[in-house]
Structure 1
Amino acid sequence: MAVVGRLILSFGDIENITYLGLLQLPKDSIFESTSKLGFGARVDLLLEILNGREKLDPTLRKAFSDKLLAAKTLAEIRNTVAHSPLMLSVYQHPTEEWIHTELSLGNAKNKDKALTLEKLSASTDEVEGLAKDLYNLYGEIHKHVV
């Protein structure tokens, strides 16, 4: 289950980018209070701050905003991973002898959001790529804003 650790660590990178953005991009000092916000609220606030930076290259601003919105969507997967046990689902055909088993992450509250190992692996790759892209884009924004 190395993919779980990779996903959590990469999402930690994405979380850090939101903290850096709120520390360095606003014209006023707002980090103390905004650092206590949840991830989604921090993303929303960063998007507003970026929209107010009209002198920033619109292509760069849009690319960073799009990646932040993608991260906000992927946060649901991170939450499923962080708050769910490993489950074994067993399917037995009602008239034949065969049985199918599948490992997934999920819980009784969110059965419809359970993640198979294949989906978890694909999501981990996506989160790792997203973290890399966000760091690169933030580096470019930082050069022009701070």
Structure 2
Amino acid sequence: MTITLDEHQHWANGIGKLLLAFAGIEAATLELIQLISLSKIHDSATRLQLHQRVELLLEICEGLDTPDHQPLIAVLEKVKGLQSTRNLVAHNPLVIEISVHPENVFLAKEVIRSRQNRNKRITLEELQDAAKYAEVLERQLFQQVEAARTLRGTAT
């Protein structure tokens, strides 16, 4: 059975919002590395995966040991927590799970399920919540970009 976009627009909207928010998160992490590191690490950082850039930013911030970067550290920790959801959605298919309950009642449920771990799945409601949360984190990261620009004296 092929799942078409027309039949599953609600999934497409949630997936699109989540992935677009993470594109913004990726852009913000690159800009933050450029703003808060004092080296030319930015060129190398563009080749890193998002989770590696988040870890790098956390190391840089923790090394600076200044309260100015505590809000950024808090947002980055939240991004770290949401990355597994992003990866689940980006790399796995939408499937229909069918289960049989007592008295031969069949239940069908749409989920995005990991091909590697059948117990890892996300429902439409969970996807929509994750997308909203990712959009919030994206906004918070860009607020941290502006704060870093202010600290560097390069505010726009």
TM-score by length of 2: 0.84
Corresponding position of 1:31: 42
Corresponding position of 1:68: 76
Question: C-alpha distance in 1, partners of 2:148/2:45?
Answer: 20
Q: Deviations over 1:79-135 (max 9, x none)?
A: 111101101011112x41322111100133122221011111111111111111111
TM-score by length of 1: 0.89
Change over 3 Å in CA distance of 1:145–1:112 after alignment to 2: farther
- Greater Cα shift, 1-10 or 102-111: 102-111
Question: C-alpha distance in 2, partners of 1:85/1:70?
Answer: 25
Corresponding position of 2:131: 124
Gaps spanning 5+ residues in structure 1: where?
none
Corresponding position of 2:3: none
Number of corresponding residues: 142
Letter in 1 for 2:43: E
Is the Cα–Cα contact under 8 Å of residues 35 and 148 in structure 2 kept in the other structure? no
CA RMSD of aligned residues (A): 1.5
- CA displacement at 1:65 relative to structure 2: 0.6
Corresponding position of 2:112: 105
Check if 1:135 corresponds to 2:147.
no
Corresponding position of 2:5: none
Question: C-alpha distance in 2, partners of 1:108/1:64?
Answer: 34
Corresponding position of 2:33: 22
Question: Identity rate of aligned residues, in percent?
Answer: 28
Letter in 2 for 1:15: E
Residue aligned with 2:114, SS: coil
1:51-90 aligned at under 5 Å gives the runs 51-54=62-65, 58=67, 60-90=68-98
Gaps spanning 5+ residues in structure 2: where?
1-10
Q: Deviations over 1:29-70 (max 9, x none)?
A: 11121221121221111122223335x5x1x41111111111
- CA displacement at 1:24 relative to structure 2: 2.4
Residue aligned with 2:116, SS: coil
Question: C-alpha distance in 2, partners of 1:105/1:18?
Answer: 27
